[in-house]
Amino acid sequence: MLIDKDSLIVNNISLGKYILYATFGYHKYWSEDTGRNLAGTMSGTLIGIFPKITVQFGKLTREQLETLAPILDSPSQTVTYYDPNKKVNVTMTTYTGDYEVTNKGLIGNRKNESFSIAFISKKRRS
């Protein structure tokens, strides 16, 4: 979670100056033996809880986008964030979802529109 402007770090770069907000999700993945019986009772095997951090970037300059794009395009990232469950900073290896950047104002002030991307943990939370 964000506890200060420097509490979300990706590949040793603090994202605080680039983002508008972040959404932290802790997604439960269940095995195929999971479901409800006719009485409505839930049963199954929890595979694990996988953290997912979705960040909303502000309007980035060309230089800022050139700094971040290689990280967003790489097959994996190292993300450090504050985990309220453990009450410590946690580092995880992630992959990213797709992202799209919209360019407006191609004449004069050239800034990209705000966009979002998700950093999804490759391993379950321990």
Residue 44, by phi and psi: left (phi above 0), alpha (psi -120 to 50) or beta? left
The burial class, CB within 10 Å (0-12 / 13-18 / 19+), for 92 is: buried
Nearest to 55 by CA among 22, 101, 80, 16: 22
Tens of pLDDT along the chain (126 residues) come to: 666 778 899 999 999 999 999 999 999 999 999 999 899 999 999 999 999 999 999 999 889 999 999 999 999 999 999 888 888 999 999 999 899 988 876 666 666 889 999 999 999 987
pTM metric for this prediction: 0.85
